[in-house]
Amino acid sequence: MEPDPDSNPQPGSPRRERWQENPGTGVVRQTMDLIVMLCLGVLLFRTFSAEAYVVPTGSMAPTLLGHHRELTCPNCRFTFVIGLDEEGHQPHAVCPNCGKDGLDGVAAVECNGDRVLVQKFLFDFRSPRRWEVAVFHFPGDPTQAYVKRVVGLPGESVQVRGGDVYIDGRIARKTPAELQAMQILVHDGRFVPDDSDRFPRWDYLRGWPRRPLPTGWRREGTAFVHEPVSRIPGVYEPEDWLQYHHWDPVLGRYGPVRDHYAYNGGDLGADNTIPDLALDASLELGADVDSLSVRLRSGGDRFVVRLPVNEAGESRTPVQVARNGRRVTIRSVVDPFQGAGPAPWPRTVRLEASVVDHRLRVAIDGQPLFEPIDYDDPTSGPPPDESPVAIGVRGGRVAVRDLKLYRDVYYTSTLGGIPRHPHGVTEPWTLGPDDYFVLGDNSPVSSDSRFWGGSPVVPRSMFLGKPFLVHLPGQVVALEVFGRSVYWVPDPRRIRYIH
Distance CA 372, CA 362 (A): 8
Beta strand extents in 57-140 (DSSP E only): 68-72, 79-83, 108-111, 115-120, 133-138
| pLDDT at residue 153 tops 90 | yes
> When comparing pLDDT for 42 and 49, which is higher?
49
| pLDDT at residue 169 tops 60 | yes
pLDDT at 373: 97
Could you tell me the residue ranges of all domains in the chain? Answer: 14-48, 51-177+255-264+414-499, 202-244+275-407
In CATH, what number does 51-177+255-264+414-499 get? 2.10.109.10
pLDDT at 208: 85
Contact 301, 379 (CB under 8 A): yes
Contact 187, 372 (CB under 8 A): no
Tens digits of per-residue pLDDT, 363-418?
Answer: 999 999 999 999 999 998 766 677 999 999 998 999 999 999 999 999 999 998 88
Topology (CATH level 3) of domain 202-244+275-407 = Jelly Rolls (2.60.120)
Name the pLDDT band for 13 (thresholds 50, 70, 90).
very low
User: Which residues are CB-neighbours of 207 under 8 A, at least 6 positions away?
Assistant: 213, 238
Angular region, 306: left φ>0, alpha ψ -120 to 50, beta rest: beta
Name the pLDDT band for 419 (thresholds 50, 70, 90).
confident
pLDDT at 33: 61
pLDDT at 187: 96
Question: What is the separation of C-alpha 76 from the centre of its chain, rounded to a whole number of angstroms?
Answer: 20
Neighbouring CB atoms inside 10 A of 493's CB total 9
Amino acid at 419: P
Neighbouring CB atoms inside 10 A of 97's CB total 25
Q: Indicate the SS3 state at residue 10.
A: coil
Tens digits of per-residue pLDDT, 91-128?
Answer: 999 999 998 988 988 999 888 899 999 999 899 999 99
Tens digits of per-residue pLDDT, 210-242?
Answer: 889 999 999 999 999 999 998 776 667 889 999
Distance CA 341, CA 81 (A): 47
Range with the poorest average pLDDT among 28-32, 155-159, 220-224, 330-334: 28-32
Q: In 3D, which of 298, 305, 270, 322 has the Cα closest to residue 381? A: 298
| pLDDT at residue 18 tops 50 | no
Average confidence score pLDDT of the chain? 87
Q: In 182-206, which positions are buried (b, 16+ CB within 10 angstroms) versus exposed (e)? A: bbbbbbbbbbbbeeeeeebbbebbb
Distance CA 87, CA 396 (A): 57
pLDDT at 249: 85
* Residue 258 DSSP label: B
Enter the pTM of the model: 0.87
Contact 72, 95 (CB under 8 A): no
Q: Indicate the SS3 state at residue 230.
A: coil
